[in-house]
Amino acid sequence: MTRSSRIAHAAANNARLFRAPGRANIIGEHTDYNDGLVLPTNTALYTWLTISPRNDRLVMVTAESLAEHGRFDLDDIAPVQHPTWIDYLKGVAAEIETTGIELKGADLTIFGEIPIGGGLSSSASVEIAMAFAMLGIAGVSMPGREVAKACQRAEHNYGGVKCGIMDQFSVACGQHGDAMLLDCRTLTTESVTIPVEMTLLVTDSGVKHRLSEGGYNQRADECRKAVEMLKAKDSSIMALRDVEPETLDVHAAMLGKDLLRRCRHVVSENQRVRQAFHALQAGDISGVGTLVKHSHMSLRDDYEVSCDEIESLVGIADACDGVLGSRMMGAGFGGCVLSVVRTECVSDVRREIGEKYGAICGAEPWIHTVSAAAPAGEVAVT
């Protein structure tokens, strides 16, 4: 179903239509749950959600992309040990109601354009679309930042993923045409326009990750363990964003090889985020590309969240004329690769990546050109 037909379908069925974009993070990976800095933008791939209110407290869901149906009762929501897609939606409803808002039952249909497990934040997009839709039919508004917090709690408590705030905050609050420097501790933001000379290209490796079952939570636990050790030496350290490179040098032996590497990635990545923001302000797209390259090396070597397919794809992309730097994006262990490309070279780069990586994996990869999109909200159907 096309976007125009989706609008027409909602109008014909007297339903309301909501959408939420995907998130493409330029730089700042695994820093958000360490109270650090990130530099995301949204992209014009969406989760679409049609909703009609019910007269009871049941929520009936059709997930078109999964060809599945689900249901739950707003009065009977609890976390489960092995969450599936429906638990993310349950969690959003439950966390909104903990704020004192009473929701209504609803009939929902969800269709997603965002590759699942690709590092473009399909889960946060679904969560935010669900939140705005349920609030909409309840006749209640909530600031985007509060919606983001509720959806982050839903992912923690019902999705089983110890994620940071970046994905939900970007999807709920990002601005069209801009990247957002987000301080994940204070939730303060600064916007910067993405130069027209620079294009972000996203290529799917074909390797899917599932965060609640992969190494994502393990990395978050490692960071917390390192903070506990460092805090015992310096009580001002509350998260890895409070750590300086010199502190790591002093306590390297205490941390040990693995924890030192995890810390080194987060500390250096926060520095790269600030540098990338200033490079964008100055229109220095080559500088952005170089920082993206260094980010990937840090994610590969210190955080150890890459894989063979990602390495092949990054190597192919970086060898293309016009590519200024590439890195794995999202949690890692698969997913997509982001490349910073000179805009005049995008067509040739897309073709070359498609041919060369397609020859390796046996099928031409999905490639997406990022178009910095507006945040989530309702779409008029009349």
Q: Which residues are catalytic?
A: 167
Q: CA-CA distances (angstroms) from residue 349 to 8, 23, 62, 167, 327?
A: 36, 22, 38, 27, 15
**CB atoms inside a 10 Å sphere around CB 380:** 9
CA end-to-end span of the chain, whole Å?
Answer: 18
How many other CB atoms are found less than 10 A from the CB of residue 208? 13
Q: How far apart are CA 121 and CA 139, in angstroms?
A: 27
Do residues 226 and 240 lie in contact, with contact meaning Cβ atoms separated by under 8 Å?
yes
Rounded to whole angstroms, the Cα distance separating 377 from 50 reads 12
Of the candidates 22, 37, 38, 336, the residue with the CA atom closest to the CA atom of residue 172: 22
